[in-house]
Chain A
């Protein structure tokens, strides 16, 4: 009963704080939207095109580039903007279709299409390879049309003929086969941003909430409670209930908005529920630890976000751990975030269930227990030191 009374008092204090509500709900949603829009996966190269010829032939080449798998093509108004876009890495390559392409093709002349890419930049080299392949393919039809005009028809007629015959002419084909592998990262888009930002913000908010506990401590409320007498364990339990409920509320809002607005499938419901509960416990435990370690509320407000962001980076909330070195991956697993993201990856990318993620859940349970034990120990020590 005493724990519930403490929880009610703490909860009222947090819910009165409108700024805290902004960080609890609004900020995570904004981040999910932005990160979801940016993290679209690395399955296309962005290529900029400037068509200086503006003829049907050049437009056809632009269309072939646009339809090529692995290329996302956008038009640029002039050479300067195209060069700047390549320089800033906004695009992986710039394609300049020269003036006179169409007339040179008709006259049987060779045409050079410039592909802007740096020799030393391997991403740009890979994009240039994709563009070269499309240009070669298009050039094959031009070669056929130029050659066929020796025997009849105009260049335009023979180009249409070549385009028509392309599919029926026996050619060396390239067959793509997919090897099914277990996914090491979350799917791109909102299915990436929603679970990772949930993990990030529940923890970050819990740590930052440590400021409120520090304030409570500074006001001598814990000593007064101890004099009531209330045991440190009860005080920790009471404060924890508040933060567990806040974390649960925040998680549920993110889950609901993720599912309803962004169409995120949160995987197996039982496993996802267990994971959410444990993550709320981990967050609340970490918040309690922060509340007993920081000396001033200012320190908690300043350091909370830093710790939260660093843990999120190490734990794979800012980028998938599958792309970093093995050492960084191992270091990352010293944080609870890595285990939570692993579990979400299993649920969302590999159709995992509660059995598949049982190890991750076990580790998270240990983290939660460890945090609460540490917080209780610290609070006991503090009260003992003040003779409470």
Chain B
């Protein structure tokens, strides 16, 4: 064990002496996560300014304006009164307004008549969803009016006497839509951009350890270091253990520093410390296994660099380090769960959104360990050969 520790100490000293280790291990992930936080500052939410072109000034229009100011809608829209349709169009073009709702003159007077006026929504052609949200808001407001009209027409068609139309209208106006959509909270927190990309970038740059550690092994071997260690005599297991320990310490320190810095500086949410730490430790273990795999498969330093680079970028792409995996099509979501980093990101985001403690991370941690065990088993036989070669 002492020998393994000595090898780990030597590897770590070498690693820290190279300034790029600190850049890749800490500065780059923190900088990139911070950059994302700045870029998306205030962009976590869906909100737009709705222009209201109120040309009617009748009682129904006043009610509609009041409805737009309802507390539950304030999260989604800010209403800004606009004097004309032309001005609303110009402000949508300039980007000040996301969309506009036009209440035409005579709307209130005609709402119960034979020919009700239409409400018009204006939105830009950028494919954004604000237009259909505006339509939904207005549609909910006129839903009862339209439902009453339909009830009246259906009753007449079903046999209600036409002579009693006035009485029928009176009864219909007291009806209420019997189907109600009622919101229910699931008790989850919104996933902030910074809370996704801090672990995402931390994990991505942690994967670079595979590159450095495997290259360092082959550099040692090409310089005859491994042979000299074997002659000491040091067993292959001790050499591998020493290398693994250095990767472990570097990985843990890097991930923990990124976690602390992004939490303190940018308000990233990594979840409760203990479960988050367990996910991190499981991931570092998988990085050790992946490093051993590269050492086992590669024959030269150049091959090790190539294989590890492909592995790092492949895993990062599949695992969702660069994009919100929740927005991806289901095939990509399933592929992410074949990677240890995909499971780690799921663990961290579950802790940040669903919350909870150790129960939340059981599945991700077990999955990472199973994947690592499979990789480790293959790697161990191959890596032993690399050391004894």
Binding site for B on A (CB under 8 A): 17-19, 22-23, 27, 30-31, 34-35, 37-38, 41-45, 69-70, 83-84, 86-90, 94, 96, 105, 108-126, 128-133, 135-153, 157-158, 161-162, 165-166, 168-181, 183-185, 187-188, 298-299, 301-303, 306, 309-310, 313-314, 318-319, 323-325, 328
Contacts and interface: CB of A to CB of B under 8 A. Distances in A.
26 contacts: A35-B323, A37-B328, A70-B129, A87-B188, A87-B353, A89-B326, A116-B186, A119-B75, A122-B45, A126-B46, A132-B136, A132-B140, A136-B177, A137-B139, A143-B176, A147-B155, A147-B175, A150-B160, A151-B158, A170-B149, A172-B118, A174-B120, A174-B142, A179-B122, A181-B125, A187-B127
A297 B170 CA distance: 85
A169 B157 CA distance: 12
B388 interface: no
B154 A161 contact: yes
B190 A120 contact: yes
Nearest to B88: A179
Contact of A88 (B144, B171, B191): B191
B136 A133 contact: yes
Given A22-B310, A173-B119, A323-B43, 15 more contacts: A17-B306, A38-B323, A88-B326, A90-B326, A90-B333, A96-B184, A110-B178, A118-B190, A129-B73, A136-B139, A139-B143, A140-B177, A174-B119, A302-B212, A306-B32
Given A111-B178, A114-B182, A176-B121, A152 B158 contact: yes
Contacts of B157: 148, 161, 165
Given A116-B184, A171-B149, A174-B118, A318 B328 contact: no
A109 B188 CA distance: 32
Contacts of A120: 75, 190
B375 interface: no
A18 B306 contact: yes
A295 B297 CA distance: 30
A249 B80 CA distance: 52
B16 interface: no
A306 B28 contact: yes
B74 to A, nearest CB: 9
A141 B114 contact: no
B123 interface: yes
Contacts of A129: 73, 76, 133, 136-137, 140
Interface stretch (B18-26, B234-242, B252-260, B266-274): B18-26
Given A166-B150, A172-B142, A179 B179 contact: no
A84 B132 CA distance: 26
Contacts of B76: 122, 125-126, 129
A165 B153 contact: yes
Nearest to A146: B178
Contacts of A119: 72, 75, 183, 185
Interface stretch (B1-9, B33-41, B287-295, B366-374): B33-41
Contact of B145 (A17, A128, A141, A172): A172
Contacts of B309: 19, 23
B223 interface: no
Nearest to B72: A125
Contacts of B185: 116-119
A139 B180 contact: yes
Contacts of B41: 325
B350 interface: yes
Contacts of A299: 18-20
Contacts of A23: 309, 313
B24 to A, nearest CB: 5
A179 B92 contact: yes
A160 B302 CA distance: 72
A177 B127 contact: no
Contacts of A183: 125-126
